[in-house]
A and B are shown apart, each in its own frame.
Chain A
Amino acid sequence: MSEVPILEGRWIQKSFDRRVVLASVDLAVERGGLTVLLGANGSGKSTLIRCLTGLERIDAGEVRLDGARVDRLRGSSRRRARRRVAVVFQNFNLIGNVSVFQNVLNGAMGRAPLGLLSVLAPVASTELREKAMDCLTRVGLADRAGHPARTLSGGQQQRVAIARALMQEADVLIADEPVASLDPQAGRGVMELLVAVAREEGMTVLTSLHQLALAEEYADRIVGLKAGEVEFDTGVESVARERMEGLYVGDGDALETEHAA
Chain B
Amino acid sequence: MSETTVAPPRWTAPRWTAWAAWAAFLALFIQGVVAIELTPERLVRGVGNLGDFLARAFPPDTGGLDAIGWAMLETLNIAIVGVSVGVVLSVPFALLAARNTSPHPLVRSLVRLMIATMRTIPDLIWALIFVVAVGLGPLAGVLAIVLDTIGFAARFFAERIEEVRPGPSEALSSTGAGRLSVIGGAILPETFASMTATSLYSVEKAIRSAVTLGLVGAGGIGVELAASMRLFQYDRAAMIILVILLVVIAFERLSASIRQRVL
Docked complex Cα distance between A214 and B186 (Å): 32
Cβ of A106: which chain B residues have Cβ within 8 Å of it?
171-172, 175, 177, 185
Partner pick for B176 among A97, A98, A111, A116, CB 8 A cutoff: A111
Contact across chains for B178 and A115 when beta carbons are under 8 A apart: yes
Interface centre among B168, B171, B184 (most CB of A within 10 A): B171
Interface locus among A16-24, A80-88, A227-235: A80-88
Docked complex Cα distance between A84 and B176 (Å): 8
- Number of residues from A at the complex interface, CB < 8 A: 33
Chain A nearest CB from B178 CB (Å) reads: 5
Answer whether A110 and B175 are a contact pair too, CB < 8 Å, given A93-B167, A93-B168, A116-B184. yes
Interface locus among B147-155, B188-196, B217-225, B230-238: B188-196
Partner pick for A116 among B167, B174, B185, B192, CB 8 A cutoff: B185
Determine if A152 is an interface residue (Cβ-Cβ < 8 Å).
no
Determine if B117 is an interface residue (Cβ-Cβ < 8 Å).
no
Q: How does the 8 Å CB contact mask read for B131-174 relative to A, with 1 for contact and 0 for none?
A: 00000000000000000000000000000000000011011111
Cβ of B120: which chain A residues have Cβ within 8 Å of it?
none
Contact across chains for A97 and B192 when beta carbons are under 8 A apart: yes
How many residue pairs bridge A and B at CB < 8 Å? 77
Cβ of A95: which chain B residues have Cβ within 8 Å of it?
168, 185-186, 189-190
Docked complex Cα distance between A133 and B193 (Å): 27
Docked complex Cα distance between A180 and B170 (Å): 19
Determine if B181 is an interface residue (Cβ-Cβ < 8 Å).
yes
Closest to A53 in B: B174
Determine if B33 is an interface residue (Cβ-Cβ < 8 Å).
no
Docked complex Cα distance between A82 and B176 (Å): 5
Contact across chains for A91 and B177 when beta carbons are under 8 A apart: no
Contact across chains for B176 and A89 when beta carbons are under 8 A apart: no
Contact across chains for B177 and A109 when beta carbons are under 8 A apart: yes
Determine if B38 is an interface residue (Cβ-Cβ < 8 Å).
no
Interface centre among A86, A95, A98, A117 (most CB of B within 10 A): A95
Partner pick for B174 among A86, A97, A119, CB 8 A cutoff: A86
Docked complex Cα distance between A106 and B167 (Å): 14
Determine if B13 is an interface residue (Cβ-Cβ < 8 Å).
no
Determine if B20 is an interface residue (Cβ-Cβ < 8 Å).
no
Closest to B185 in A: A116
Interface centre among A84, A97, A106 (most CB of B within 10 A): A106
Answer whether A86 and B175 are a contact pair too, CB < 8 Å, given A96-B190, A97-B193, A98-B189. yes
Contact across chains for A115 and B170 when beta carbons are under 8 A apart: no
Determine if B180 is an interface residue (Cβ-Cβ < 8 Å).
yes
Partner pick for A115 among B174, B180, B189, CB 8 A cutoff: B180
Cβ of A83: which chain B residues have Cβ within 8 Å of it?
175-176
Cβ of A89: which chain B residues have Cβ within 8 Å of it?
167, 170-171
Cβ of A161: which chain B residues have Cβ within 8 Å of it?
171
Determine if A163 is an interface residue (Cβ-Cβ < 8 Å).
no
Docked complex Cα distance between A82 and B173 (Å): 8
Chain A nearest CB from B236 CB (Å) reads: 49
Q: List 19 A-B contacts (CB under 8 A).
A: A79-B177, A79-B178, A82-B174, A87-B170, A89-B170, A89-B171, A91-B167, A93-B170, A95-B185, A95-B186, A106-B175, A106-B177, A109-B176, A109-B181, A110-B177, A111-B175, A116-B181, A119-B185, A164-B171
If A87-B170, A95-B189, A106-B177 are given as contacts, then 19 extra A-B residue pairs at C-beta distance below 8 Å, sorted by A number, are: A54-B174, A55-B170, A79-B176, A80-B176, A82-B174, A83-B175, A93-B167, A97-B189, A97-B192, A106-B185, A107-B175, A108-B175, A109-B175, A110-B177, A111-B175, A115-B177, A161-B171, A164-B175, A168-B175
Binding site for A on B (CB under 8 A): 167-168, 170-178, 180-181, 184-186, 189-190, 192-193
Top 4 nearest A-B pairs (CB, nearest first) are A110-B176, A83-B176, A115-B181, A93-B167
